Structure 1
Amino acid sequence: MPMFPTEHAVRTTPEGLLWEPSERWVRGAKGDVTVVDSRHPVLVWEPGVPVPLYAFPREEVREDLLRPAKNPPTDAHTGSRVFYDLEVAGERTENAAWTFPAADLADHIAFEWFRRVGRGLDHWYEEEEEIFIHPRDPHKRVDAIAGSRHVRVEINGTVVADTRRPVLLFETGLPTRYYIPREDVRLDLFAPTDRRTGCPYKGTAEYWSWRGEADVPPNIVWSYPDPLPAVGAIKGLLAFYNEEVDITVDGELQERPITPFSTKPSST
């Protein structure tokens, strides 16, 4: 079947930005105040940044809440020079918004996400679903598939999990994660922590750390107690960082991958 270009094809600017329109209804809020309400958002990928962000037409932004930045950064967001502080209910958030230098995006404003950089808008919604950290990438897949492989996890020679009923999570750009039923994990060897993280594809995760003496990073085990519907199969299951433990699948020891989640740099 022949393929035809569409109005949603990814475009490139001379500054190296990639962007494409999105048909999702996106809203962003600071506390209880809606700052963005857009049915014409644009996804933007900055050079060297693996995840996208949103930019919005000015008419769909509460510009009355924006003030010229008092202390604009000089090296942020691909050469942007126009930054705004956000003022809501008497509270001013510095450099919460900006415009890109690209002519294609001149009439759009982008915002920081609080849960990603510690400032900016703190609630974001696509349609009626709250999302976290960054927008979902339409060019990325996350599939959770029930399996019957024999998966064994070891830490410093101690078997901490052994199952033949994992759920395999395939996420573009990351190693396969093996989610294991709690009954098949030695959870008594781990201690729960206060760490919580949000993922736009999976939801909010809780963590456990290794109780033993081996040199193991904290928060080595995680679970999604209430995952998003698209990955509901991983609900309550436990996963380990492939980067830091030994995982054997159907008798074959898996190589520890080097990813942004690795605590030790690659030797190559």
Structure 2
Amino acid sequence: MTTLPTGRSVRSTPEGLLWEPSERWVRGYKGEVAVVDSRHPVLVWEPDLPVPQYAFPSGEVRTDLLRPAKNPPTGTHTGSQIFHDLEVDGELRENAAWTFPAADLADHIAFEWFRRRDTGLDRWYEEEEEIFIHPRDPHKRVDALPSSRHVRVEVAGTVVADTRRPVLLFETGLPTRYYIPREDVRLDLFESTDHRTGCPYKGRAQYWNWRGGADVPRNIVWSYPDPLAPVAAVKGLLAFYNEAVDIIVDGVRVERPVTPFTASLKA
């Protein structure tokens, strides 16, 4: 019988990594093949990456599917790593996995996941719930709270939303997002797009573009038609990027924040 640690603490390595054991059951699939099936994953934070990633004991990874990397990259992750290509059913994905140089993480294997397509695995699960983009950070909160604040949104000087029944979404490290009922949004001023994103805390989002012709970034409005249970209150509501529109809350104009999304918001 394996005794699990009862205390949780973040530890550091000389290489600048932070890591913490997790008690979640994590599985990763390439197609229908379970490449990772781990009950002892470790969350790892790299210095220049704002979200955690998982590393797994090699005994809980299908190492028989890994090959020495033919074209290993440089400068991709912290320290000097050993990269592996992944081969499943005749398909090769280069540099899909790697090992960290830290002694604390010896005999652990990590897989590409965060914001990278066509590398690593196709699907990830924590327990029985599919997780998108990156693992959830246990030190981060996301709360969706119904409110009676008066919220008005302007795009290029035009009032596009006005409500007294928003849902405010508070997410650690990001500005407050104001989710507004569709009936209180001038959705006729926008057009739907094919853009889709996934969030490990909220689910999958759909987007709309501004039709006004001004210098406004694309996909400025989004909604979660089927959000994850913890943020069910935002279901079907619409939110705007604070970074690129004007939001007035109870008569006070909210300062446009600078966030990790700012650079990617282009007209």
Query: What CA distance in whole angstroms lies between the structure 1 residues aligned with 2:213 and 2:196?
Result: 24
2:65 maps to 65
- TM-score of the superposed pair, with normalisation by structure 2: 0.95
Give the alignment of 1:33-112 within 5 angstroms: 33-112=33-112
2:188 maps to 188
Contact 1:114 1:122 (8 Å CA) reproduced = no
Question: Any stretches of 5+ residues in structure 1 without a counterpart?
Answer: none
Query: What CA distance in whole angstroms lies between the structure 1 residues aligned with 2:133 and 2:106?
Result: 24
- In the TM superposition, residue 7 of structure 1 has moved relative to its aligned partner by 3.6
Contact 2:84 2:98 (8 Å CA) reproduced = yes
1:239 maps to 239
1:126 maps to 126
Query: What CA distance in whole angstroms lies between the structure 1 residues aligned with 2:185 and 2:24?
Result: 39
- In the TM superposition, residue 80 of structure 1 has moved relative to its aligned partner by 3.0
Give the alignment of 1:113-192 within 5 angstroms: 113=113, 116-192=116-192
Query: What CA distance in whole angstroms lies between the structure 1 residues aligned with 2:140 and 2:114?
Result: 23
Percent identity, aligned pairs only, is 80
- In the TM superposition, residue 55 of structure 1 has moved relative to its aligned partner by 0.2
- In the TM superposition, residue 116 of structure 1 has moved relative to its aligned partner by 3.2
Offset from partner CA, 1:63-82 (integer Å, 9 cap, x none): 00000000111212112331
Contact 1:114 1:120 (8 Å CA) reproduced = no
- In the TM superposition, residue 53 of structure 1 has moved relative to its aligned partner by 0.2
Query: What CA distance in whole angstroms lies between the structure 2 residues aligned with 1:230 and 1:90?
Result: 39
- In the TM superposition, residue 87 of structure 1 has moved relative to its aligned partner by 0.2
Amino acid at match of 2:16: G
Query: What CA distance in whole angstroms lies between the structure 1 residues aligned with 2:89 and 2:252?
Result: 58
1:215 maps to 215
Query: What CA distance in whole angstroms lies between the structure 1 residues aligned with 2:263 and 2:106?
Result: 39
1:30 maps to 30
Query: What CA distance in whole angstroms lies between the structure 2 residues aligned with 1:34 and 1:264?
Result: 34
2:9 maps to 9
- The CA RMSD measured in Å over matched residues stands at 1.5
Contact 1:217 1:263 (8 Å CA) reproduced = no
Query: What CA distance in whole angstroms lies between the structure 2 residues aligned with 1:129 and 1:199?
Result: 13
- In the TM superposition, residue 263 of structure 1 has moved relative to its aligned partner by 4.1
Amino acid at match of 2:11: R
Query: What CA distance in whole angstroms lies between the structure 1 residues aligned with 2:259 and 2:209?
Result: 20
Contact 2:19 2:43 (8 Å CA) reproduced = yes
Q: What is the SS of the residue equivalent to 2:188?
A: helix
Question: Any stretches of 5+ residues in structure 2 without a counterpart?
Answer: none
Query: What CA distance in whole angstroms lies between the structure 2 residues aligned with 1:134 and 1:158?
Result: 36
Offset from partner CA, 1:42-64 (integer Å, 9 cap, x none): 00000121100000001000000
Query: What CA distance in whole angstroms lies between the structure 1 residues aligned with 2:81 and 2:218?
Result: 39
Amino acid at match of 2:245: V
Moved segments of 4+, more than 4 Å: none
Contact 1:97 1:111 (8 Å CA) reproduced = yes
- TM-score of the superposed pair, with normalisation by structure 1: 0.95
Query: What CA distance in whole angstroms lies between the structure 2 residues aligned with 1:119 and 1:228?
Result: 25
Contact 1:114 1:121 (8 Å CA) reproduced = no
- In the TM superposition, residue 117 of structure 1 has moved relative to its aligned partner by 4.2
Query: What CA distance in whole angstroms lies between the structure 2 residues aligned with 1:183 and 1:37?
Result: 45
Offset from partner CA, 1:209-260 (integer Å, 9 cap, x none): 0000211000000000000000000000000000100000000011111111
- In the TM superposition, residue 118 of structure 1 has moved relative to its aligned partner by 3.6
